[in-house]
């Protein structure tokens, strides 16, 4: 205690102790007769630091002991609560055991009556089960009888079907004999004239010959030679005029096919191309379709007086009008309605890039009151689309300019389209 009294009375705290430790001791001064008080002061401060350090450690140790004691107290309380719960459970168990003991010691006459009652119930249930089995057997026997009747009906139906099959097989045999008889007949009977008309086989032969570019003057001779090679002889051979009439029939059939195809395919593409053959100007008109890219139907191949836009436009318009006439006559529809529908389904044009073709498309647009997308076959179609879009955006650019962007409208649109792709 005396040591603490000799120490300097500064405020005791950990900060002071740490600060004292960190401070360096001043260099030793030479001892003089007048320096006794200063050395005593330095000594007392050194002792104060040591004692305070010891006191700090003692306080820390006391705190740790208090925390350990608090934890032990909590553990004891927890165990005590568990012990109380176990005590309650033991009391309940004891009461249950006492109750069971009381029931065992009670009179057993009530249990005997219950047992007898249960036996009577079991006996009654057995009788009920036996009765249900008898009813089930009766119902199943009825079902078996019904299924047997149904099976017999089905057998009769199968027998009737077998008889019908035998009759049909007989008819098939008769038809096969008739086919063999017709096959054994001579080829001349097939190509003979039936009344005032030639047979279908003759017409098909003429169609095949014309399709393979056989001149109409050579078709009768070729047909006669063909029949002779089979060992038969024809009494009458179609004349050249008759062959040309059959060719006209073939042309009408092709026109009807072209009209039906255009009618069923919107967004069709019109194409035309002209060339000179031996001093004659020939123009070809054809159609391609969006749904069936590989198909290409030729509408007309005719001689033209010249290669002007009027010649091309009149040739194309007259060809489409002929298709409308054939379609309306065959399907019994109004010509104007058919013509408008056919021209409405034509949305594009594909030609070479030249002034006459461009003028032709303008004349067709004016005649049909439409606006065809003019595409050029020797360039990529997107080039034509880009030119049209650029022209449209240029007109908008003059009215609505970009305010906060340096790029023009066409560049912005094309950039957005590239991002979408």
Output the domain CATH number for residue 338. 3.30.420
Computed over every residue of the chain, the mean pLDDT equals: 77
Q: Which pLDDT belongs to residue 178?
A: 75
Same domain, 343 and 291: yes
Q: Within this chain, do residues 338 and 287 fall inside the same structural domain, yes or no?
A: yes
Looking at the fold, whether 345 and 392 belong to one and the same domain comes out as no
Q: Mean per-residue pLDDT for 115-136?
A: 84
Least confident of 135-139, 237-241, 407-411: 407-411
CA trace torsion 129, 132, 138, 142 (10° rounding)? -130
Residue 89 lies in a domain: no
Tens of pLDDT, residue by residue over 86-97, are 878 888 888 888
Q: For the chain, what is the domain count?
A: 5
Q: In this structure, what is the dihedral angle of CA atoms 116, 117, 122, 124, given to the nearest 10 degrees?
A: 120
Query: Does 196 share its domain with 178?
Result: no
Where does a domain end: 183, 198, 230? 183
Under the banding of pLDDT at 50, 70 and 90, the label for residue 332 is very high
With beta carbons less than 8 A apart as the criterion, state whether 345 and 259 touch.
Answer: no
Shared domain for 219 and 318, answered yes or no, is no
What percent of the chain shows pLDDT beyond 90?
Answer: 21
Domain that holds residue 336: 255-379
Are 303 and 391 contained in the same domain?
A: no
Segment 258-298, tens digit of pLDDT: 999 999 999 999 999 888 877 789 999 999 998 877 788 99
Tens-place pLDDT, residues 58-75: 899 888 988 888 888 888
Kindly report, residue by residue over 225-261, the tens digit of the pLDDT: 887 877 777 777 888 888 888 888 888 888 999 999 9
């Amino acid at each position: 205690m005396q040591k603490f009294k000799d120490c300097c009375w500064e405020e005791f705290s950990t900060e002071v102790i740490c600060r004292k430790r960190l401070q360096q001791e001043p260099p030793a001064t030479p001892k003089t007769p007048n320096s006794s008080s200063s050395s005593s002061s330095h000594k007392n401060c050194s002792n104060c630091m040591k004692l305070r350090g010891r006191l700090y450690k003692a306080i820390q140790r006391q705190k740790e002991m208090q925390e350990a004691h608090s934890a032990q107290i909590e553990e004891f309380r927890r165990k005590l609560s568990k012990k109380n719960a176990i005590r309650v459970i033991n009391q309940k168990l004891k009461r249950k055991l006492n109750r069971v003991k009381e029931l065992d010691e009670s009179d057993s006459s009530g249990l005997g009556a219950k047992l007898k009652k249960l036996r009577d119930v079991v006996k009654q249930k057995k009788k009920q089960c036996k009765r249900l089995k008898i009813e089930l057997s009766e119902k199943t026997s009825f079902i078996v009888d019904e299924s047997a009747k149904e099976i017999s009906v089905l057998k009769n139906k199968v027998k009737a079907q077998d008889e019908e099959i035998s009759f049909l097989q007989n008819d098939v045999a008769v038809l096969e004999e008739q086919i063999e008889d017709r096959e054994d007949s001579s080829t001349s009977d097939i190509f003979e004239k039936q009344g005032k008309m030639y047979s279908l086989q003759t017409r098909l032969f003429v169609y095949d010959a014309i399709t393979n570019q056989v001149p109409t003057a050579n078709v009768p001779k070729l047909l006669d030679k063909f029949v002779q090679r089979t060992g038969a002889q024809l009494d009458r051979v179609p004349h050249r005029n008759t062959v040309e009439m059959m060719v006209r029939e073939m042309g009408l059939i092709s026109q009807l096919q072209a009209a039906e195809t255009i009618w069923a395919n919107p967004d069709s593409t019109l194409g035309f191309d002209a060339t000179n053959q031996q001093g004659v100007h020939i123009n070809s008109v054809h159609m391609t379709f969006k749904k069936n890219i590989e198909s290409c139907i030729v509408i007309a191949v005719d001689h033209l007086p010249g290669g002007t836009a009027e010649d091309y436009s009149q040739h194309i318009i007259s060809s489409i009008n002929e298709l409308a006439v054939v379609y309306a006559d065959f399907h019994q529809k109004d010509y104007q309605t058919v013509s408008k529908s056919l021209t409405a389904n034509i949305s594009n044009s594909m030609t070479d890039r030249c002034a006459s073709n461009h003028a032709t498309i303008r004349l067709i647009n004016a005649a049909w009151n439409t606006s065809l997308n003019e595409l050029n076959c020797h360039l990529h179609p997107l080039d034509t689309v880009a030119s049209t879009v650029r022209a449209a955006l240029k007109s908008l650019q003059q009215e609505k300019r970009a305010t906060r962007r340096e790029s023009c409208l066409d560049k912005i649109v094309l950039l957005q389209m590239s991002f979408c792709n």
